[in-house]
Amino acid sequence: MGSVCKDEREEVIQAWYMDDSNEDQRLPHHKDPKEFVSLDKLAELGVLSWRLDADNYETDEELKKIRESRGYSYMDFCEVCPEKLPNYEEKIKSFFEEHLHTDEEIRYIVAGSGYFDVRDRNEAWIRVWLKKGGMIVLPAGIYHRFTLDSDNYIKAMRLFVGEPVWTPYNRPHDHLPARNILKHLWTRRMLLLLESLLEYVEAFGSIIMITIMSSLVLYCCILRMYVVFVLKYQKTYKNTCA
Ligand SMILES: CSCCC(=O)/C(O)=C/O
Ligand SMILES: [Fe+2]
Ligand code: NI
């Protein structure tokens, strides 16, 4: 039997291509048949994702590490429900307008759930469903929108590098420099590759060191055997000639 290695992020983050219907935005809007999108494919669009322990976000070392490595110094919470969000109806409408930001949009869902829709390279909508424990980074310049699902409640941690800028630029805003960044897909791919390489080196650093050290020891042993052999041969040769 082959081993099944399931990505644990998929328990709290799922993505799929959307249908074209104008029905209630809070419905899943799957295509028929359903067409799921892998989290690796999302990463190729610059959309990064993690699964974290939302019950212990205050002490979570993994969250701390992500914040430190990506420079997310700012943090607050955004609760979307009529009682907690001022101008609720207006906000619900503006979140669902297709827009972009000049910086990353970073959301970590600590309660409830909701849909972040992003445009793929062919302008098709991918719906990303985030539940409690799911964290997502939308790259600067990607066209996207947000809606609650039919459970009607979400509480998200918002992270930011430095002082936050929430300004949404509704489509079209293609002249913004943030749009160019998206066009440099090669740079993005290379960065992703470098990032996973570094993670790999970090994770397997000790194994690599052990391999290097044992190769060195083996090399020294072979060298010693060679020297001993050469010296012995020289001695035998001298004795024969004398
Ligand atoms: C759950 S966070 C609310 C949505 C939001 O902040 C945003 O910017 C959507 O694009
Ligand atoms: Fe946004
Ligand atoms: Ni926004």
Domain residues for the domain of 205 are 184-242
pTM of the predicted model over 0.90:
no
Torsion angle defined by CA atoms of residues 9, 28, 189 and 108, in that order, rounded to the nearest 10 degrees: -50
> What region, left, alpha or beta, does residue 123 occupy, with left being phi > 0 and alpha being psi -120 to 50 degrees?
left
Shared domain check, 66 and 150:
yes
Could you give the CA distance from residue 128 to residue 119 in angstroms, rounded to a whole number? 11
3 within a domain of the structure (yes/no): no
Which of 46, 45, 75 minimizes the C-alpha distance to 60? 75
Shared domain check, 151 and 225:
no
Shared domain check, 128 and 22:
yes
> Which residues are known binding-site members for Ni(2+)?
99, 101, 105, 144
Local structure of residue 157 (DSSP, 8 states) = E
Shared domain check, 190 and 175:
no
Instruction: Please report, for the domain that includes residue 48, its CATH number.
Output: 2.60.120.10
CB 111 within 8 A of CB 155: yes
Q: How are beta strands 36-37 and 134-138 bridged, if at all?
A: unpaired
Shortest-distance Cα residue to atom 7 of ligand 1: 95
Ligand 1 atom nearest the C-alpha of 80 is 1
Shared domain check, 164 and 74:
yes
What backbone phi and psi angles, to 5 degrees, belong to 33?
A: -75, 165
1 within a domain of the structure (yes/no): no
Local structure of residue 18 (DSSP, 8 states) = B
pLDDT over threshold 80, residue 174: yes
214 within a domain of the structure (yes/no): yes
Beta-carbon-side half-sphere exposure of residue 99 (alpha carbons within 13 Å): 18
Shared domain check, 237 and 149:
no
Shared domain check, 210 and 95:
no
pLDDT bucket at 239, cuts 50 / 70 / 90: low
The domain total for the chain is: 2
pLDDT over threshold 60, residue 167: yes
Shared domain check, 198 and 101:
no
Ligand 1 atom nearest the C-alpha of 78 is 2
Task: Report the separation in Å between the CA atom of 145 and the middle of ligand 2, taken as the mean of its atom positions.
Answer: 6
Amino acid present at 208 = I
Q: What is the mean pLDDT of residues 114-132?
A: 98
2 within a domain of the structure (yes/no): no
Best residue among 105, 125, 147, 152 to mutate for probing ligand 1, ranked by most atoms within 8 Å of CB = 105
pLDDT over threshold 60, residue 125: yes
Beta-carbon-side half-sphere exposure of residue 157 (alpha carbons within 13 Å): 23
Shared domain check, 172 and 198:
no
> Which residues are known binding-site members for Fe(2+)?
99, 101, 105, 144
- What pLDDT is stored for residue 67 in this prediction? 98
